[in-house]
Chains A and B, each alone.
Chain A
C-alpha cells in the first residue's frame, strides 16, 4: 500500500475516534436544559446514567448500523446511490409500525380480535424489525433470489412502493396512526434506553465480522461480475449473505430509531472521499462515520431548541448532505482551478 494512502486511512480512523469521543462527552452534557451538566441536582445520576448515556451510545450504534448497511448496499449494487432502505426494509418496517398504531381502530373495521391482540402485544420495536425483514424477504422472493442485481433492485423498489401504498391506506382508515407514523418516518433517538443499546450492540456485533469477511468478495465484485465469477467467487451466495447482513443491520437500527434519513447513503461517500480503500476498511470506517454523524445530529437535535427536540433525521440530512455538497463543490472548484 502506498504510504500517503495508508496515512490518510490512519488519519481518518483517528479523526473518527476523536470526534466520537468528544461527541460522546457532549452527549452526556446536552439535555433538556441545553448545555448543562446537571451537577448538584438530586437526579443527576439518573438523568446522565439512564437517559443521556444510553441515548448517546444508542445514537452512535444506530448510525453505525446504518453506515455499515449503506456501505454494503453500495458495494453490492455497485451504485453510489444505493442506501440501506433500498430493498423494501423501510416500507416493510413502516407498514408494520402503522399496523400496530392502527390496531385499535382496525379492530372495529373488520380485523379479527386475535390479530389485533397479536399486533398490540408485538409492540412497535419487534413489529418494525419483523416488517423490515419481511420487506426484504418479499423483494428476494419477487426477484427469485439474488441472482441478478438489477432484478433485485427493481423488486426492492416495487416492494417499497406497494408496501408504502398499503401503509397509506391503513393510515387513511385509522388517522390516529398518522402522527406516530410521521415520528417513525423522521427517525427519533429520544427514547433509546439501555435495553435498546444492548440490542443495537448485539446487532452490530452480529453484522460487522461477517461483513468484514465478505468484503473481499465485494472487492472482487467491484471489478465486474464476469471477472468475479472467473475468480471462482460464488456470486449468488455472496449476494445472499450480503443482503441478509444489510437487512439485519437495517432492521435492528430502524426498529429502535425509525427511518433516520441519509446516514446510510452519505457515510460511505464521506469515507471514500477521505480515504479510498478496499471494501473491508470502507465498511468499518462507514460504520464509524455513520455513528459519528448520527451522534452529532442527536446532540444538536436535543440542544438546539431545548427542551424541545428536532427530528434527528432532518439534522443528519443537513449535516451529512451539507458536508458532502461542500466537499463536492471544493473538489469541482479545485479541478476547475487546475485546468485554468
Chain B
C-alpha cells in the first residue's frame, strides 16, 4: 500500500514536472520574443522570494522537490494542494495523513543531513533559529526560513509558499477560508460566554498561552478575554497562585490535566473548575490547537464547539 502511494506521488510529481516544463517552454518562447524586442531582463521568469531572514532566494521555476522541517509548513504546502511535491518531512509531521508515509528526516534541531541531501530537494522549508540552516546552505541547498508564531505569520507564510509553488490563488483562498472559519467560530460562541476570560494551559508547570500568542489571538477573535496579558510574553510560566487570584471564567487544557487540576494546591477553589466551565481536549485534538498553520480556522471551530457545549455561566458574564 505504501509502495502504491509512493508510486502515485511519483506519477503526480512527474505530471506536475511535465506541465511545468511545458509552461516553461511557453515562458521561454514569450521571453525570447520579449528579449528579442529588448524589453525585459532575463531574470524575470525566476521566482524571487525574500524569506523571514531577509535573505533573497531565487528559483528558475516552482520547485517540485520540497523538504519541510516544520509540521505547520508541511501543512501549509499541502493546504495549497502541493502535497505531492513534498519528498520528506521532519518526524513530527502528521497531517494530512499522506505525509505520514514520507521519509522522516529527524527534527528541526537534529535533522539527518545526509538523508535531506540525498533527497536532492530544490527547497528546504525551516523555521528561524536553527543551526541546520547554515549547514544545509553550505551543502548547496536552498533554505526558505519562515516564521510561524502569529496569525500574521501564518498568513505571510501561506503567501510566500503560494508564490514559491506558483499557487497564489490557492494561498489567497486558503487564507480566506481560515478567515471564514474564524468568523463562523466567533458566531458559534454563546453570547453569555463573550468577553469571558480564558486560561489556556500549555503545560502543567503551569505555562499558559498569553494574549500575545497565536492561541491568544484565536481566543480574541472568538470574542474571549485572556487571564494572561500580552506583556507577559506568548507562553509565560506562571505562579500557580496567579490563577487562583485571577479566577478565569473558562479553563482549557489537555483533558488529563483538567482532571488533575483540582488536586493542585488551592485550585479546588477555581470557580471555572467547580462549575465545569472547562474544555479538556484529547491529545491529538490539542495538538491541532497549538500548531500555527493552515488549520487555524479548524482549531477555532473546535474551541467554539467546546464553548457552545459548556453549561451556561451562572449570573452571566462578568
Contacts and interface: CB of A to CB of B under 8 A. Distances in A.
Answer yes or no: do A and B interact.
yes
Interface of A: 31-33, 38, 41, 43, 46-47, 50-52, 54-55, 104-105, 120, 172, 175-176, 179-180, 183, 188, 190-194, 196, 302, 306-309, 311
Nearest to A124: B204
Interface stretch (B22-30, B213-221, B236-244): B236-244
Given A52-B241, A120-B256, A302-B239, A104 B283 contact: yes
A300 to B, nearest CB: 12
B265 A32 contact: no
B205 interface: yes
Contacts of A190: 205-206, 239-240
Interface string B98-120: 00000000010000000000000
A313 to B, nearest CB: 12
Interface in B189-240: 202-207, 232-233, 236-240
A192 B203 contact: no
Given A31-B241, A43-B269, 9 more contacts: A32-B239, A46-B269, A50-B269, A176-B287, A183-B204, A191-B205, A193-B266, A306-B242, A309-B205
B241 A191 contact: no
Interface of B: 91-92, 107, 202-207, 232-233, 236-242, 244-245, 256, 263-266, 269, 283, 287
Contacts, number: 88
A98 to B, nearest CB: 14
Chain B interface main SS type: mixed
Ordered nearest first, which 7 A-B pairs have the shortest CB separation?
A193-B265, A32-B242, A307-B242, A32-B239, A51-B266, A50-B266, A32-B241
Candidate in A51, A192, A307 with the most chain B CB atoms within 10 angstroms: A307
Contacts of B205: 179, 183, 188, 190-191, 309
A245 B207 CA distance: 34
Nearest to B206: A190
Given A50-B266, A179-B203, A193-B266, A308 B236 contact: yes
B244 A307 contact: no
Contacts of A194: 265
B266 A105 contact: no
Given A176-B283, A308-B239, A309-B238, A51 B265 contact: yes
23 contacts: A46-B244, A47-B244, A51-B244, A54-B265, A172-B91, A175-B92, A175-B107, A179-B202, A180-B204, A183-B203, A183-B204, A183-B205, A190-B240, A191-B240, A191-B264, A194-B265, A196-B265, A302-B239, A302-B241, A307-B241, A308-B236, A309-B237, A309-B239
Contacts of B206: 190
A309 B203 CA distance: 14
Nearest to B106: A172
Given A50-B265, A308-B232, A309-B237, A43 B245 contact: yes
Contacts of B232: 307-308
A35 to B, nearest CB: 13
A193 B265 CA distance: 5
B241 A105 contact: no
Candidate in A192, A302, A308 with the most chain B CB atoms within 10 angstroms: A308
Candidate in A183, A190, A193, A306 with the most chain B CB atoms within 10 angstroms: A190
Given A46-B244, A46-B266, A46-B269, A180 B239 contact: no
Given A179-B207, A307-B238, A307-B239, A105 B283 contact: yes
A317 to B, nearest CB: 17
B239 A31 contact: yes
A126 to B, nearest CB: 13
Nearest to A123: B260
A308 B237 contact: yes
Contacts of B203: 179-180, 183
A295 to B, nearest CB: 16
